[in-house]
Structure 1
């Protein structure tokens, strides 16, 4: 067997290491080039709810904006189930390449506490926040089958009948549910929660008088408020919004600092390249600078936010903390 000359093995090793380093450097140069070419195929935007609701509508408008800004098709995919856990989990386990995104709402923040230790992902660590897309204050509507015509009258009416007035929501842990839990905690009122699978069946029971009141977004209530078939009792914002000038704020009704909103947040899988996250965030921010898009959102009672990724991350953490405290105080549980 021929032996290598002295030092030959060391030289070969040095050449191998040098070649590896050059290859790694070449790879490093290739990766940014690929990020710069993003997106070169359609983007999938998962909605963890059924078609037709606030989240779905916002996702489709956001998909239009992203598609126009990045020159690529955005395909909206509805994956409802388990209070948004199914759809969010699909995205958490997807490749972090910017081609699979998810639109979440307040339930995502609530799930961090409601399903603590049982989620198949971490509501914060498993995702790269892109943007706080839209927000809208919740509205408290009352049935015309009970006497109260104002928030104060409703609170007095319910306080005199503890546990006898039913309120509805679109589901356990929804913004509508937790807003009412917070309102009851602050005012000492006790009402009975009736959760539904979505807003529409709850609204039908509000119209029929099987519920005394419920929180939801103005776009759900608008036609019925205009038809005078339900009463607008309060808006959960610091000021009366343009689309509901005739409804007093809950703060005006005597509950200090009461605010509660429905919102949509766009997330990508954790470890998605920051350059891609920034491009997507900039595309979403463009919605608030587009007069036609602003008008469409305004017609739905939605205000575009278009935050930075860092702002979106801070917002999500704050919402998890806020509603976690309400859930624990009210001892809210899911089956």
Structure 2
């Protein structure tokens, strides 16, 4: 074929295809980030590879990947760089072809050097900055928080380990480059040693140089190679990236209509039997040369007459060839680069490659598979595609197939659902809403909050057993799961709750001991020490409003009574804590133990006076700039510290690795200044610890209940 320019080198071809796509992609602009680094770009959503229908798969979703690995190493690769089309908004990932899972930048790795550097977007995984042991480079967009309060943006390359953490961070803490740094912990493309791809029941086969996969029964898997040699020839040259102006030979009838498209390199004239021999390439290699095997077949033509009276003539003005009759009139306008005489009603001509021609029934979203590689337990297919993700341009993309013959398409993770077992408007709801607002940018998935204040036992059992990686329970810790032997029996849902897996403590909030201001003035009680002195002098006369058994308010009162040795009457009110009206209006008690939000309004109005909080003395709480005293700062109450812990629990069938990733994301959001300010505004301490530390906290609280409450609370009314 004349003027068909083949791209000789793989990297040149890859650069060409990626260049076409990137010119069309609507990526976030670097200039916007540099100009406004305070407007952190949203992290792309994570995704999972899911099998899709093999009969009518969504080709645009399957062949959406660009890769950063050299295919010459494909048969020895373990990790494959998968960079989704930027218009999808999905995050780039590394794919483990042995284990079959995708690796993303871990949430905790999106901030390093104590928060000085923040990763605001993952650009790609590629080998443009690969080191000498073929460790893929991860290009990220960074925002630097400088000591003077300013923020600056940059881009850099780092290397990840198998958990998604930085084996080599993109920059040093002072901003230095790390391009030349090597780490044995970083993921490397190649399988170590002489490991070979694992055997497969699928086999690679060819039809007219068009590759395809067959199953054990010999059936072709989609996309099926064409059986028509003309279609195969058209696809063969399309996949070689035909350059504009390339020529091809075809066949026309006496009316100038295309009979065989202009896709062949050379065609003989039609024979007396009105058939023509068509030849195409038969080899698997994309780079064609004189030694490339060829296969030919005879194609029968319809019986046709005419054209013998026409003669090919070159137009002097354009240099193109057409056909004139005996009178010198143009019957077929000059448009061909070469033209032969008609034989048996057909003429061979040479014209521009049939760029706009499509085989009968062809759909443009269909991929043209160029090559298949066996990689670990999977098949990687390289295809030429044109679809909305490529802005209507032909581009090279990659797809994956498993050994079951199923194509894998990326699907964004389902929204994470946080179930709150209380009505909207309370503390649980407030904290859960912070999570729903902040987590999507860190996890790459949406977060929804649902309230189940009237949930049945069956609801909790269903969530605990079958919630998977989609549902979480967010609640304040009452008694440790399983109850306290001899003190408190677990609720009906306790069996379900004990099966939950720990994620993390989100926040901890102390309780407040407040007194009716009028009573405080009348009795001369304005401090913790004054309260204890009065209680010792008047045993049993002071009444303390408390919530129902099992809530942390019960533990806080028990700690106060056990450590001080004073005698005060516990008055139990329905719910978690009594309303402040029981003091200020009903005068049912003199004191109340409640969380901060339960007393703040009355304190601001001057109706209640805070005597102390159950906060650790090292972390006193304040309201409107006024620091509240802590009960533990009194000598007779030294060591008293009691908190409500607001906790995320995951279902029994959830993935521990996913739970740990969630915990790391929570820890990262709790490190944000704006979140810390929100928590400080309601006198709460940030959590974020590991699942193991949550279990240790539960064991510690169990001991605390047993130590101070097992005996004493049974004697308190």
CA drift at 1:330: 2.6
- In the alignment, is residue 293 of structure 1 matched against residue 675 of structure 2? yes
Which residue in the other structure is 2:551 paired with? 174
**CA deviation map 1:110-159 (0-9, x unaligned):** 76225546644448751111111111222211122422221122223333
Kept after mapping to 2: 8 A contact 1:127/1:269: yes
CA drift at 1:215: 2.1
Which residue in the other structure is 1:105 paired with? 476
CA drift at 1:63: 2.4
Q: Structure 2 stretches of 5 or more lacking a match? A: 1-97, 106-409
CA drift at 1:331: 4.3
Q: 1:92 aligns with which of 464, 471, 489?
A: 464
Kept after mapping to 2: 8 A contact 1:182/1:326: yes
**CA deviation map 1:202-251 (0-9, x unaligned):** 32212223221122233332332233211111122223525255332213
SS at match of 2:567: coil
Q: 1:184 aligns with which of 555, 561, 565?
A: 561
Kept after mapping to 1: 8 A contact 2:501/2:651: yes
Indicate how the Cα distance of structure 1 residues 135 and 164 shifts in structure 2: closer, same or farther if over 3 A, else same: same
**CA deviation map 1:172-215 (0-9, x unaligned):** 22111211012112222222222333467432212223221122
SS at match of 1:131: strand
**What is the CA RMSD across the aligned residues, in angstroms?**
3.3
Kept after mapping to 2: 8 A contact 1:81/1:87: no
Partner Cα distance (2:491, 2:630) in 1: 37
Which residue in the other structure is 1:259 paired with? 641
Partner Cα distance (1:247, 1:85) in 2: 40
Whose Rg is larger? 2
Which residue in the other structure is 2:617 paired with? 238
SS at match of 1:214: strand
Indicate how the Cα distance of structure 1 residues 124 and 39 shifts in structure 2: closer, same or farther if over 3 A, else same: farther
**CA deviation map 1:236-273 (0-9, x unaligned):** 22235252553322133331111111221111022421
Partner Cα distance (1:52, 1:326) in 2: 32
Partner Cα distance (1:90, 1:134) in 2: 26
Which residue in the other structure is 2:599 paired with? 221
- In the alignment, is residue 41 of structure 1 matched against residue 418 of structure 2? no
Which residue in the other structure is 1:196 paired with? 573
Q: How many residues align?
A: 305
Partner Cα distance (1:139, 1:238) in 2: 13
Which residue in the other structure is 1:268 paired with? 650
Partner Cα distance (1:38, 1:153) in 2: 63
Indicate how the Cα distance of structure 1 residues 87 and 329 shifts in structure 2: closer, same or farther if over 3 A, else same: farther
Partner Cα distance (1:262, 1:86) in 2: 26
Partner Cα distance (2:569, 2:612) in 1: 19
- In the alignment, is residue 312 of structure 1 matched against residue 694 of structure 2? yes
Partner Cα distance (1:303, 1:39) in 2: 33
Which residue in the other structure is 1:23 paired with? none
Q: TM-score, normalised by structure 2?
A: 0.39
Kept after mapping to 1: 8 A contact 2:515/2:608: yes
Q: 2:453 aligns with which of 74, 77, 80?
A: 80
Which residue in the other structure is 1:18 paired with? none
SS at match of 1:104: strand
Indicate how the Cα distance of structure 1 residues 88 and 316 shifts in structure 2: closer, same or farther if over 3 A, else same: farther
Partner Cα distance (2:463, 2:546) in 1: 26
Partner Cα distance (1:157, 1:105) in 2: 33
CA drift at 1:80: 2.9
Q: 1:280 aligns with which of 655, 662, 687?
A: 662
CA drift at 1:108: 4.3
Which residue in the other structure is 1:15 paired with? none
Q: Structure 1 stretches of 5 or more lacking a match? A: 1-27
Which residue in the other structure is 1:8 paired with? none
SS at match of 1:228: coil
Q: 1:68 aligns with which of 436, 441, 447?
A: 441
SS at match of 2:588: coil
Partner Cα distance (2:412, 2:712) in 1: 45
SS at match of 2:688: coil
> Larger strand proportion, structure 1 or 2?
2
Partner Cα distance (1:261, 1:325) in 2: 16
- In the alignment, is residue 302 of structure 1 matched against residue 684 of structure 2? yes
Q: TM-score, normalised by structure 1?
A: 0.79
Which residue in the other structure is 1:136 paired with? 509
Kept after mapping to 2: 8 A contact 1:238/1:251: yes
Kept after mapping to 1: 8 A contact 2:543/2:569: yes
Kept after mapping to 1: 8 A contact 2:504/2:690: yes
